[in-house]
Amino acid sequence: MVVRKITISLEENAYQAATAAARAAGLSLSAWLSRYAEHRARVEEGLRAVAAYEAEYGASAVPAGRDTVDRATVDRDAVDRDLDDLGIGEPTSPDREAEFAAALSRLRSA
């Protein structure tokens, strides 16, 4: 794996949060930031894929009989807390990443 050394600037609260998250994960700050950046890039790629899908097939992904979500009234802070509680957005282990890559490969070849 090629590692590129860079210099970045973080706001103090972002630095404190990242440092605490890295410590909790048992990683160096550099390793945690690297994993998170890669994870976030994948999330953004997925969001772009969803947007492309919705542009082609329509945005209604809610099954019949279920209430729709009014995005303007969603408590985003509550959603963020729920996602944090579930561990969504946390860096994943290399083993888990390999499982995800294998699953994606199977889906693409199906």
- Angstrom distance (rounded) from CA 98 to CA 19: 25
H helices, E strands: number in the chain: 4, 0
Query: Does the pTM exceed 0.85?
Result: no
- Contact residues for 8 (Cβ-Cβ < 8 A; gap 6+): 33
Residue 64, in any domain of the structure: no
Encode pLDDT of 23-76 as tens digits. 999 999 999 999 999 999 888 888 888 888 777 777 655 455 545 556 666 677
Handedness of CA 49, 54, 57, 61 (dihedral sign): positive
Residue 87, in any domain of the structure: yes
Encode pLDDT of 75-107 as tens digits. 777 777 777 777 777 777 788 788 878 888 887
Residue 5, in any domain of the structure: no
Domain tally, the chain: 1
